[in-house]
Amino acid sequence: MNSSRLDSEGLSASPLALPGPLMIDVEAHALTESDRRRLRHPLVGGVILFSRNYRDPAQLTQLCAEMRAVRPELLIGIDHEGGRVQRCRAGFTRLPAMRRLGDTWDRDAEAGEAAARAIGFVLASELRACGIDFSFTPVLDLDWGHSGVIGDRSFHRDPAAVVALAGALIEGLRQTGMGACGKHFPGHGWAEADSHVAIPVDTRPRDEIAPDIEPYRHLALDAVMPAHVIYPAVDERPAGFSPVWMDLLRRDIGFAGAIFSDDLSMAGAGVVGDILARAHAAWTAGADVLLVCNAPASVDTLLEQWHPEAEEKRAVRRAALRSTQAAIPRNALGDDARYLAGVAAAQQLA
């Protein structure tokens, strides 16, 4: 494997430089000079967008174009699952919470899977038409009835239902050229605490965690995001900072795609230490992309003080999340039968 130092001098020249390991956010509807400065740094390889970055489809398209003008290789992602986690609303189809698909599957499995496939197509085609590469979806956590932060974001409690519905949703995503990011490995559905504000712990024995892992064994995923959850029966470190869990994902499950850290600014990451310690821990555990959100001072600290060795294999995994398939233009979506079917399915369930 080729490797080189990744610093302010950047990577060796190539037709399209490989993206760096940090995924950060930007301030608002258009880029500020501070945004541009950070995006130019070679450690930055991606941007995650939030509701504050969205006004309407035209504005979003312009923002994505601005970012591409600064760094053509940037990955642009967003949390756009449906239900309460849908960053773009006005001008976008309202998507149902994934639990609604699980309810449909309980009544009619074939109908549930067809709806999931159609909604995946709508989700992805609307984002890709604006210039976004991927959404952090699907949520693969099982609904054990414990986690409020997961709740109706989960398809179902039964791993077989999650595999069927998430697999169909992924088929819809892939029809548009969008990849899939499964989260939150190995499962956030049992732990009660919200890792945004606390440090969740799942005290179950390892064999009782096995059903939560099943979707990762059966789905073809392009990326995986581990949970900021501690599973003391396996490791005292949160999964995203645990070489034990990362080794299980890579070697036992055989996952070969990109691994995202969950947001390193979340309270659930605080057990590891300051932002430099968190970045080091996630990177050495095996994460390919490190998310740092809503913490510009932490981003600046990393840009100034974090000096990882740049591994080409990791960079290639990141770059693979950029689609080579042309997006359907927004003004042509209304003529696409798959899109119209997906909108109808979403409206019926939302």
Provide the annotated active-site residues: 196, 262
280 token code pair: 């080091």
223 token code pair: 């990326």
Q: Confirm if 283 and 240 have CB atoms less than 8 A apart.
A: no
Measure the N-to-C terminal CA separation of the chain; round to a whole number of Å. Answer: 47
Strands 75-78 and 134-135: parallel
- DSSP secondary structure letter of residue 335: G
CA distance 122 to 334: 11
Q: Which of 21, 52, 49 lies closest to 132 in space, CA to CA?
A: 49
Q: How far is CA 161 from the centre of its chain?
A: 21
Alpha helices (H) along 71-158? 98-107, 109-130
Phi, psi angles (nearest 5°) of residue 115: -65, -40
What is the H or E stretch that residue 238 is in? strand 235-238
**What is the side-by-side strand order in the sheet with 258-259?**
181-185, 223-226, 258-259
